[in-house]
Structure 1
Amino acid sequence: MLLRCYNNTCVEAGLDEAGRGCLAGPVVASAVILPPDYENELLNDSKQLTRDERNLLRKEIEEVAVAWAVALANNEEIDRINILQASFLAMHRAIDAVLPRCRPEHLLIDGNRFTPYPMIPHTCVVKGDSRYMSIAAASVLAKTHRDELMGNLALEYPHYRWEENAGYPTIFHRKAILEHGYTPYHRMTFRVRV
């Protein structure tokens, strides 16, 4: 079972992102504030869950969370400021969206780096999505929302099978780029190797 919180003396929001290593689409971040007594034995890092498990958890998290938000930085922003900074930008946007509902007093970030958010202290935790519930919940929301978005974009550009690969550099996706070229959703600063 994952840990409920890092700091139990304050309102804590977990943050994570999805889509950093993709060739197409945005990077999507989520911020989640869970109730202090929340428990779910299934909750884990989204990469350790099946699609059905993620979708089941998404529904529950969105219903029971004190507050949650999903935000993104698009492929043009990624190309302009780089993927790391775009990930932080998406996280900041997710925090912005949570603030009107509940102001976190501490941010728990998945990873080893973060651009500080004004007036809210943070802690970075490597592999935090497999250690803390709020980060795992953010991981699930970021992943499911991004997968849904990429599935919708796949209707516009079916040659790339984004509904299956979500824009990640699978062999099929890389070959499709060579055959059909880039779309307006591709990250032009990412190198494509076949």
Structure 2
Amino acid sequence: MALRHAVLAALLEGEASGYDLAKSFDASIANFWMATPQQLYRELAGMEAAGLLSGRVVEQERRPNKRLFALTEAGLTALREFGAEPPRPGTVRDELMVKVQAMDEVGPDVVRDFVEERAQWARAKLDRYERLRDRLLDGRTEDDHLLDAERVGPYLTLLRGISFEQENLRWCQRVLAVVDRRRTAPDL
């Protein structure tokens, strides 16, 4: 999958500026696709040049002008074509896993600190995702939302992000328990 497909999917919510998309990526899409603002702006320019998006300038009085992007029919077609292709299996590329793999050489205390940081990050993301979930539900039950909402895809991907971070936390807690237990165990 290319960043372009994630941008097309994000613009299903409606017209947005690059700044709005960066916030959207950080708040919700980041649970399955990471992108820096610079990557987003480059991609938006390329997608507009390719005819997948249309852009318009909105003049603002006390702020710099902003450019809003919307899907074109060609963009919708590209998204539909992408959606019809079978997905490739996902892969995990995680620097922390390499450090944990080498923990016995690197030092368990160093790796413990990294795992603790990852746990803090997972907790923070879970908090953000739960706030987003509350906003999406807007007082409705999950079943009502899934039955009545105009679009359920964002909610379903959010559920995956929540599950992912919950599992990250469980794994971090397990690693921390193992490291702490080995610290207190007689020399191995």
- TM-score (structure 2 length as normaliser): 0.26
* Larger strand proportion of the pair: 1
Greater RCO, CA 8 A, separation 6+ = 1
Q: Give the structure with higher Rg (CA).
A: 2
- TM-score (structure 1 length as normaliser): 0.25
* Larger helix proportion of the pair: 2
